[in-house]
Structure formats: C-alpha cells, structure tokens
Amino acid sequence: MLTHLEDLGLRIGDFALSPVPERERLCVQAALREFYGPDIRIERLVPPTAPVELRAALTVASPTLAATAEALCHILETDYSGIAVRQAGLAHLELEERAQVLFALAACMGRPTATDQVNRRVIWDVKVRQQKAATTFSEHADEADLHTDTQYFARPERYMMLYYIRPAACGGGISLVRDLQCLKRSLSATEEGRWAIDLLSRKVLPFRIPGVFTANGGTDTVEVTFATIFAERPGIRFRADTLMKGLALHPAADTPDVRRALDLLLTEARRPEALLQISMPADSIHFVNNHMALHGRTAFEDHERHVWRIRVDDDVPLSAYGGADAPNVGRAA
C-alpha cells in the first residue's frame, strides 16, 4: 500500500510503499509463468495478450500489489500528477525478480505497452548507449527537455514509471516535473497566456513520428500525428523536437501565432520556481500521469546511470482523444 509522507508542492507528492510479502512475490512469479511460460526474463515480458485475465490472476496472487496499483491510479487522477517513492523495497532482489514485481504492478494499473517495435519489451533500459548514435532521451546523457512521452502516438499512454537501479553518481540526472494544472493556472493569469492556451487548444499541429514507430518501422519513413497540444484527453501532449520536425514537414502550420504561443508555453513551463526537481535514490520509483504533467531531467556525466522505464495504457478508446477542432487525432504520411 501507499502511505503519504509529504507534499512536495506543485501537485507532486512523496510516498512510502509497503513491500510485497515474499509469499505474494512468489505467487506473482508463478502467475507470470502461467501467461508467459517458464522463461520470464526481462526481455520476455512483452505486452500481455490477455491483460484483463492477467490482471485478475495477479490480483489473486498479490493483494498488496493490486491495492497499491489501485491507490496509485486514484492518486495520479486526483491530488497529484507525480509521485516519488524513495524506497521501493526491492533492493534485496535480483534484477530479474525486481522486473517481475514492477511488471506486475504495471499490469495491475492498466496495460503495459511495448517500447520498441521489434522486441516489444515493456521494461526499457534508460542508459547511455556507447555503441550507437543516441536518438532518444533514454539513450544519451544530455538534458532531456520537458515533454510528455509518446506524444507522437494518437493515444499516448496514461502513466509512466521510472525505477532507479543506479542514479548518476555525479549528482546529475535529476528528475524535472511541471504539473499541467499549475502550468495552465499561471498562463491564465495574463491575457497573453489565456490567448496561448486558447490557440494551442484549437490549433491542430503535426508531431513527427520517429521512424522506428511508423507503420512499417522504417527509419526513413516519414509520418506525423496531427493533434492539439491542450485537449480534454490527453490534457497535454508536447515535445519540442518532434513538433519542430513536424512543422518543418508542414510549414503551413508553422505560423507566427503558433511560434508565439509555443514560446509563451515553454517560457512558463521552464520557469525555475515553478519547476519541481526531484533527486531519486537507488531503489526508488517515480510515477507520472503522462497526460497531466511534463517531465524531463538534467544532464549527467556518470554513464553508469541506469533506470528502467515502463509505460501503462488505460485502454480508453481512441475516440476520446483530440482537441476542439480534432475530435479524433489524425495520422498521415
């Protein structure tokens, strides 16, 4: 279960997590083997083909995990858009065993999704790739600017969790969070800010889809998702680089008003006194409502930093997504 420890401000909370009893952990392991076979190594944990049935089995296997998942979803939909759990109680386990517990927790919260199109791994290593050119925030040590995950998908996942195996010893890699409610409240305080919210709630803009996530998975394939930045669902979708690449492909959408509104949004989102910084230790978990907060991180020098990322979809129909002028989000080449 979750226990509230402290309000960190800006709709971010600090919580303690009850450890999963060993008997329940072994039952979770057995339940996963029922659905995935005897080999439940990290790379074998792909999105479940029967998520409802798996969730039911895991609820029986671990009432503790099921109750924790229910509490997490409730809190992330009400009082907080981000939660810091400083100690997950998993440090005594082997990495494979930790992965099983985290995967099971995600499966109880909703439907864990695949990070990559080829191997379809749910648990993704966020670490510096030494042997290849880094193309995403999860593969390099530079600053990760404020963004929402999978903003280029028609239906971005609702929740995201980051499990810290080894934080950066250099003191970098600090998590950054900007709550949407606080952001819109600040923007709404000025006439110019209210204008920006209105425009970005109506103007359908193109987000370029990374090649590996296009329909055929080709790195040279060009596709975009058209959507508003502000909407009922998700409350916000944003990442500057995929948006700029989309605008370069569709210059008619790249108007002076759009640029002015984006500048206002970014200036307010990055305002230091309104941006919460969270230093996460080893064996901690950072949960984010990906529809209701922007997140990012500071740069770091320690290339041994190692974090796991899991995204969770809540399976709300695609028809619920889009802005005022786009009841359904569009995707086009």
- In tens, the pLDDT along 50-61 reads 999 999 999 999
What is the per-residue pLDDT for 328?
38
- The per-residue pLDDT for range 244-299, each reduced to its tens digit, is 999 999 999 999 999 999 999 999 999 999 999 999 999 999 999 999 999 999 99
Residue type, 202: R
Structure tokens at 177: 């969070």
Average pLDDT over residues 93-103: 98
Report the alpha-carbon distance of residue 295 to residue 160 in Å, rounded: 10
- The per-residue pLDDT for range 119-165, each reduced to its tens digit, is 899 999 998 876 555 456 566 778 899 999 999 999 999 999 999 99
Report the alpha-carbon distance of residue 333 to residue 317 in Å, rounded: 23
Residue 304's pLDDT band (boundaries 50, 70, 90)? very high
Average pLDDT over residues 164-184: 96
**274-290 burial string, b = 16+ CB within 10 Å, else e?**
bbbebbbeebbbbbbbb
Domain extents in the chain: 1-127+141-178+277-314, 179-266
Report the alpha-carbon distance of residue 268 to residue 186 in Å, rounded: 8
CATH topology of domain 1-127+141-178+277-314: Double-stranded beta-helix (3.60.130)
The model's pTM:
0.93
What is the per-residue pLDDT for 218?
63
As beta bridge partners, residue 125 has 308
Structure tokens at 255: 């108007």
Percent of the chain exceeding pLDDT 70 equals 91
Contacts of 163 (CB under 8 A, 6+ apart): 88, 90, 98, 102, 284, 285, 307, 308, 309, 310
Quick one: which H or E segment has residue 106?
A: helix 95-109
DSSP track, 246-273: HHHH-GGG--HHHHHHHHHHHHHHT-GG
Average pLDDT over residues 29-47: 97
Residue 305's pLDDT band (boundaries 50, 70, 90)? very high
Question: φ, ψ for residue 127 (rounded to 5)?
Answer: -160, 160
